[in-house]
Amino acid sequence: MPWLLVIVAGLLETGFAVCLKLSHGFTRLWPTIAFAAFALGSFGLLTLALRRLDVGPAYAVWTGIGAAGTAIYGMIFLGDMVSTLKLVSISLVIVGVIGLQLSGGAH
């Protein structure tokens, strides 16, 4: 169950990063409200998960999901540049998180 919380928190991190961009420096009301809701949800779920998980692997998964998810969302929906290097780098983030999990650092 704690890992499910980390995964959902990572997806919410993607949401708050995207909404942060869409808020245009907190000048747009609804994206700003969505940013706050996603951020509170993400940090709240991560906090609950950290009661039972080691901080290193949990944080790596949370940030990995958030970073990869935000980059992918930006390329698909926000017109961010797509390049081979960017796609390889996202893949390396995901492989790194999986490697950390397989290394025995998680319980």
Q: How many domains does the chain have?
A: 1
Q: Is the pTM higher than 0.85?
A: yes
The domain of 76 spans: 2-104
Which among 12, 72, 16 has a CA at the least distance from the CA of 46?
Answer: 12
Per-residue pLDDT of the chain (107 residues; tens, 9 = 90+): 999 999 999 999 999 999 999 999 999 999 999 999 999 999 999 999 999 999 988 999 999 999 999 999 999 999 999 999 999 999 999 998 888 878 865 45
CA distance 65 to 46: 12
DSSP conformation letters of 36-101: HHHHHHHHHHHHHHTTTS-HHHHHHHHHHHHHHHHHHHHHHHS-----HHHHHHHHHHHHHHHHHI
